[in-house]
């Protein structure tokens, strides 16, 4: 099922609006008594009410990379702490991630409380308009400057400027990374030698009023490497649950705990894998292939006319049929995939693919001409708009 994510109002499935990753930190700011407005979410107090987030002097927000709502539901038998949270009716409904459901985009939406049309971080890889070179948006390869691309203030920055204590506990290598600079700048950053030490540091931070943010990555890493149904992923999931229990046992009493994610994961199918390199009708007229296997960004040859781009989109639609949703850039913007169309920065338009291809089912779309064999055969992936990829948890508890 494809659920188009909107930011301004819930659609028929009750998605968008407050029940969106972009709303989490603005709602938390209101819970701390220092409401932060963003260009997407002007009413932080209204978000707090809509999400049922209680007020608190200390809030701990944990983001578990790759831990989608339905991943938790299917494997809850391995995670007694998360299972106990899931059993609470307040935690039984997912919220929506951003589009594409990929880490760089989702973390910038989370960190700024806005949308990709404002953050400029529109996919796993996007073109540098000045050079036509692809930039990988976690490391900002290809000559893009994280501070020039992502110009929105983060919620962390705004809270710190208002005098709120804001702390991030994470791996040392992420402290000054390009992604941190772009999406999560502003807090005091503390790090230990390993994930357990970071969990303990986060718990200690909660004893001072304010906001603590903890990032946990191993579920996503194991999912890409082995598949999210593999025993390696299950072991990582069990470790995540143990880390969360450690945090809870050491955190200050009365701390508000919020657990969310950037996206979920699906299992790919080698039999439905489509390699652009093997099909001349897919290659023709395409200059650069960006994005990722579930959300492909096609950049037409430089100077292509609107008619040529439309014809290219139709050719892809004819080839793929029900295996993918195919949008032109303008169609994707009008559909609200990158946030409210009226907020789209003009310079961000240049980062977007001329055509967006969103895989359905268990399909992946790869290009072996420019991607490693391993990258084209990942056992679990994300990026598109299926429920398994879009739906993420918003688990809350007062400790």
Domain boundaries, the chain: 21-267+386-398, 270-380
Assess if CATH 3.30.1360.180 describes domain 270-380.
yes
Q: Report the C-alpha dihedral over residues 91, 93, 98, 102, rounded to 10 degrees.
A: 70
- Residues 109-125: what's their mean pLDDT? 98
Average pLDDT, stretch 85-91? Answer: 96
Question: pLDDT: is 166 or 13 the higher one?
Answer: 166
Q: 360 or 14: whose pLDDT is higher?
A: 360
Residue 334 CA to residue 219 CA, distance in Å, equals 34
Give the pLDDT band (50/70/90) at residue 193. confident
- Superfamily (CATH H level) for 21-267+386-398: Alkaline Phosphatase, subunit A (3.40.720.10)
**Has residue 8 got a pLDDT over 50?**
no
Residue 16: the pLDDT is 62
| Four-residue CA torsion sign, 277, 282, 283, 288 | negative
Res. 31: pLDDT tops 90: yes
Contacts of 324 (CB under 8 A, 6+ apart): 316, 357, 358, 359, 360, 363, 365
Average pLDDT on 105-133 reads 97
pLDDT at 15: 52
pLDDT band of 192, cuts 50, 70, 90: confident
Choose among 33, 43, 35, 34: nearest CA to 8: 43
């Amino acid at each position: 099922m494809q659920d188009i994510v909107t930011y301004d109002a819930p659609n028929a499935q009750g998605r968008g609006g407050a029940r969106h990753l972009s709303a989490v930190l603005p709602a938390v700011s209101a819970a701390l008594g220092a409401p932060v407005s963003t260009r997407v979410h002007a009413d932080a107090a209204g978000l707090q009410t809509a999400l049922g987030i209680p007020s608190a002097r200390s809030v701990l927000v944990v983001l578990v990379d790759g831990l989608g709502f339905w991943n938790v539901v299917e494997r809850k038998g391995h995670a007694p702490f998360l299972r106990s949270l899931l059993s609470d009716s307040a935690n039984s409904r997912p919220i929506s991630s951003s589009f594409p459901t990929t880490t760089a985009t989702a973390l910038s939406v989370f960190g700024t409380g806005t949308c990709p049309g404002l953050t400029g971080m529109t996919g796993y890889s996007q073109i540098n308009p000045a050079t036509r070179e692809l930039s990988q948006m976690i490391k900002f390869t290809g000559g893009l400057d994280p501070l020039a691309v992502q110009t929105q203030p983060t919620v962390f920055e705004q809270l710190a400027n208002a005098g709120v204590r804001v702390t991030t506990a994470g791996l040392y290598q992420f402290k000054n990374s390009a992604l941190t600079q772009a999406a999560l700048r502003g807090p005091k950053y503390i790090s230990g030698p390993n994930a357990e030490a970071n969990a303990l540091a986060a718990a200690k931070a909660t004893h001072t009023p304010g906001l603590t943010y903890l990032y946990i990555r191993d579920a996503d890493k194991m999912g890409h490497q082995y598949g999210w149904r593999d025993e390696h992923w299950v072991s990582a999931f069990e470790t995540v649950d143990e880390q969360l229990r450690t945090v809870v046992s050491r955190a200050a009493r009365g701390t508000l705990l919020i657990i969310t994610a950037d996206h979920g994961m699906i299992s790919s199918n080698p039999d439905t894998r489509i390699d652009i390199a093997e099909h001349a009708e897919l290659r023709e007229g395409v200059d650069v292939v960006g994005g990722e296997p579930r959300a492909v960004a096609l950049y037409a040859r430089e100077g292509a006319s609107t008619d040529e781009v439309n014809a290219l989109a139709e050719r892809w639609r004819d080839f793929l049929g029900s295996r993918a949703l195919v949008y032109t850039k303008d169609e994707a913007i009008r559909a609200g995939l990158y946030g409210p169309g009226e907020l789209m920065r003009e310079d961000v338009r240049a980062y977007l693919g001329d055509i967006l291809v969103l895989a359905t089912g268990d399909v992946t779309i790869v290009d072996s001409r420019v991607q490693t064999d391993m990258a084209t055969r990942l056992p679990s992936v994300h990026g598109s708009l299926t429920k398994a990829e879009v739906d993420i948890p918003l688990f809350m508890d007062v400790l």
